[in-house]
Amino acid sequence: MQEFFQQLANGIAWGSIYALIALGYTMVYGILRLINFAHGDVYMVGAFAAYFLARALGVGTITSASPLMAALVLLGSMVICALLGMAIELLAYRPVRRSSRITALITAIGVSLFLENAGILVFGADPKFFPQVIAPRTITLPGGVLVTNHQITVVLVSVVLMVGLTLFIQKTRTGKAMRAVAFNRDAASLMGIPTDRIITYTFALGSALAAAAGFLVGLTNPKIEPLMGIMPGIKAFVAAVLGGIGSIPGAMIGGLLMGISEYMVVGYLSSTYRDAIAFVILIVVLLIKPAGLLGRNVTEKV
Amino acid sequence: MIAVRRILGLLAGIAAVIGLDWAGRLGLNPYIYGVLVLCAINVILALSLNLVNGITGQFSIGHAGFMAVGAYASAAYTVYAVPLLFGPGYASSAWLTAGAFLLAILVGGLASAVAGFLVGLPSMRLRGDYLAIVTLGFGEIIRVAILNIDAVGGARGFAGVPQRTNLAWVLGGAGITFVVIRNLMKSFHGRALLAIREDEIAAEALGIPTTRYKVTAFVIGAFFAGVAGALFAHYLYLHTNSFTFMKSIEVVIMIVLGGMGSLTGSILGAILLTALPEVLRFASSLRLIIYSLLLIVLMIARPQGILGRRELSFPKRRAPEAPRPTPAS
């Protein structure tokens, strides 16, 4: 039983990271019906932005590790990635928005390959060790479950960001506009909503969340490299589909489910099957509920 | 007359393939020869995926999985079954070797077709992005499953597969794939597939059993992907890392770049995308950055692909046309 709760704790921490990435996928998909393949690489850039920011601030060498420094690094990398997301949308996706969806998809793959290879060129292909912006500590929970304060930080930051995102989408004017554009872009544009600007905001928001995921992964798994975004990216997308793509709570649930099931497989089966379990769950869910767990069933009109 | 011409055409094709192979081995340096072999394998992959994506209009991105099934099934057959069936000394006879290899290719194709049927039957009920992500998922599941089979090397890769593939085999394979898919496209059944692409609901309303056709197209596509895998397995060192979802994506890029639904476009796209990274080698570390930027620019400049839905063809000498009936007005 202790083993089970241990894997559950690890899975929740890792699933929160998937959930943060999945939110960006689901928001962009909801608005553009585009699988933004480059999203996983934005997460990679987020991790590197945090790495270089922490180095520039001299965390661990000049200044001591503190929650303030961590918050600074986190916000900095989120801003950098928000700008990157806006740039990607402007330069690559906007010109193909009127083309077929598969054209947009291949463009997204092109952007993904570009970010990966530019990452190898700029950051180097060898893994970098993420500086410890928060001093590590292990905490024993009742029942003998061991968690690190990094894992707790991951879960707390994710929860704060998700609550913030939900409030933003539900309560602000921009959030309302986002929902309107996702519901029907043409109608929204007729109602005077600047759809282009709203789409850009969506990319900025999604990329900022990916950057936060990158920072958090740097805390818990401190080895970062330019190709680190491929697998988490694809699995986060699977998580978004699992939860019902376009649905924000769906992405959160899908991410958590994905993280927990991965750790259960690692704990009880074998770590070699870790990469397959995500897809097995996806296929089973889609065959039973084709629109995902929380997705809306769209009936086809003739 | 037509039969004679067909047989002559076939013989000419075989002669050309063998001639090209000899010329290749004598005249080309091994590097270019190797690139040509990979080009032809990728042509088979692109053509077979085009049958599913371009002609039937279903969006599958798990082709590398079927390639992997074909590769490992044929390699396992060559390594474990052939010495038993043909006797251990079979390799001394050129005819036996060729026969065993031909069988290996068929084994690869058939194994992959079976996998295609098992995957296609449930997933062909899904549409659009859901279908895409499920095929991607199956591709990854196949790869991870193979990675866990120790008899075929697992994570070490499958050592000891003899190198049998040469330019003649791959060119022959690409030629057969092209002819089969082109003839299929021109046939009654091909029209049904095109109808499904254009409007699935209308096709269904006209009495076309859409799911059966989609699964059939998927199975045929998987068969040829398996053939490509078999050829690949007997050429380069076999490891599951060759069949990640990036390989599937690469094949999708080939057919989109060439023009979805255009067979000659697929051939063009496959050759371009195989040769391009090699041509860009002079740029060394900038190579893949240029490659990805070219991809983005091409998609922005020519979203329908290089050929769109058109086909390249040699201009035909026109037979004097029968006078057309004037359209009734």
Residue A291 lies in a domain: no
Structural domains of chain A, count: 1
Select from B49, B43, B47, B41 the least CA-distant residue to B66. B49
In angstroms, the CA A126 to CA A233 distance is 20
Q: How confident is the model at residue B312 (pLDDT cuts 50, 70, 90)?
A: confident
Q: How confident is the model at residue B37 (pLDDT cuts 50, 70, 90)?
A: very high
The answer to whether B84 contacts chain A (CB < 8 Å) is no
Nearest CA of chain A to the CA of B25: how many Å?
A: 35
pLDDT at position B38 = 94
- ipTM for the complex? 0.83
Residues of A in contact with B249 (CB under 8 A): 109
Q: How confident is the model at residue B315 (pLDDT cuts 50, 70, 90)?
A: low
Compute the mean pLDDT over every residue in chain B, rounded to the nearest whole number.
Answer: 87
Residues of B in contact with A30 (CB under 8 A): none
Select from B149, B130, B142 the least CA-distant residue to B229. B142
pLDDT at B85 over 90: no
Q: Which residue of A has its CA nearest to B288?
A: A117
B126 vs A39, which has greater pLDDT? A39
Nearest to A121 among B134, B136, B289 (CB): B289
Task: Give B 138-157 residues with CB within 8 A of chain A.
Answer: 138, 140-141, 144-145, 147-148, 155
pLDDT at position B327 = 56
Residue A181 burial (CB count, 10 A): 25
pLDDT at position B133 = 85
**How far from each other are the two terminal CA atoms of chain B, in whole angstroms?**
39
Nearest CA of chain B to the CA of A248: how many Å?
A: 18
The answer to whether B122 contacts chain A (CB < 8 Å) is yes
Angle subtended at Cα B210 by Cα B204 and Cα B211, rounded to the nearest 5 degrees:
135
Task: Tally the residues of chain A.
Answer: 302
> Cβ distance A250 to A295 under 8 Å?
yes
Residues spanned by the domain of A107: 15-226
B207 vs A273, which has greater pLDDT? B207
Spans of chain A below 70 pLDDT: 60-63, 297-302
Contact (CB<8Å) A121/B147: no
pLDDT tens per residue across span B233-248: 999 999 999 998 889 9
Residue A179 lies in a domain: yes
Nearest to B296 among A100, A111, A117 (CB): A111
pLDDT at B163 over 60: yes
Nearest to B292 among A110, A237, A275 (CB): A110
The answer to whether A271 contacts chain B (CB < 8 Å) is no
pLDDT at position B329 = 45
Helices of type H across chain A: 2-32, 39-57, 67-88, 101-123, 149-171, 173-183, 185-190, 195-220, 230-243, 248-268, 274-288
The CA distances from residue B109 to A110, A197, B34, B40, B60, in Å, are 31, 50, 22, 16, 18
Nearest to B256 among A106, A245, A282 (CB): A106
**How far from each other are the two terminal CA atoms of chain A, in whole angstroms?**
53
Contact (CB<8Å) B253/A106: yes
